A and B are shown apart, each in its own frame.
Chain A
């Protein structure tokens, strides 16, 4: 892993079209601005991991034999 030291307002570029800017630093938090082309999904890593886990669970439970009684779909209210 490449490790770089940056100050507030300084940037890091990855390739020609992705950049990270250090917006602010506090005791245990860093605010980072990310610029990337449309279509590049920028995600907090833990959210990506959570989605992956949920899909793994869905694959595992997909072999369950489920009887669907007459239940109502839980609709989102407008």
Chain B
């Protein structure tokens, strides 16, 4: 199978690479299949929709930011990154993490409804 992506051009993948989000992402419930793509930039992954290949979200492993971030069994937590030309304005959504199980190829998004986690957490400091 093939999709055309903004960042990586045409990508070929097999069924085994597909991450299945049973409930989609919050607000994007209809999009249930994604690829998790790694770049040469070591910080971000890209969560690329297969159903709508134009939808591609940079994500970062939240453990890099917070060692005590809530875990979900067998899942790795990622935060959706809001990019900006000014890197100091790049933010991470720590409030609604995307949990991915890379062995079972499943994922889901969840809201941590408390004051500890920010929806626009600044990724970098000078």
The answer, yes or no, to whether A68 is at the interface (CB within 8 Å) is yes
**Does A26 sit within 8 A of B, measured CB to CB?**
no
Q: Are A64 and B68 interface neighbours, CB within 8 A?
A: no
Contact (Cβ within 8 A) B119 A71: no
For chain B, the bracket of interface size reads: 35 or more
Q: List residues of chain B with CB within 8 A of the CB of A53.
A: 27
In the complex, are the beta carbons of A47 and B123 less than 8 A apart? no
| Beta-carbon contact of A48 and B87 below 8 Å | no
Distance in angstroms from B76 CB to nearest chain A CB is: 17
What residues of chain B lie closer than 8 Å to A43, measured between beta carbons? 111, 113
Which residues of A have CB within 8 Å of B88? 71
Q: Tell me, rounded to whole Å, the shortest Cβ–Cβ distance linking B20 to chain A.
A: 16
Nearest Cβ on chain B to A56's Cβ, whole angstroms: 7
Contact: A52 with B93, CB < 8 Å?
Answer: no
**Which residues of chain A are near B105, meaning CB under 8 Å?**
none
Please, what's the 1-or-0 string for A34-50, where 1 marks a CB less than 8 Å from any CB in chain B?
00000001011001111
Chain A's closest residue to B66 (CB) is A76
Kindly supply a per-residue 1/0 record for chain B positions 53-88, scoring 1 wherever the CB is within 8 Å of any chain A CB and 0 otherwise. Answer: 001111000001111110000000000111111011
Q: Does B113 contact A47, Cβ atoms closer than 8 Å?
A: yes
Q: Interface on B for A, CB 8 Å cutoff?
A: 6, 25-28, 41, 43, 46, 55-58, 64-69, 80-85, 87-88, 90, 93, 95-96, 109-111, 113, 119-126
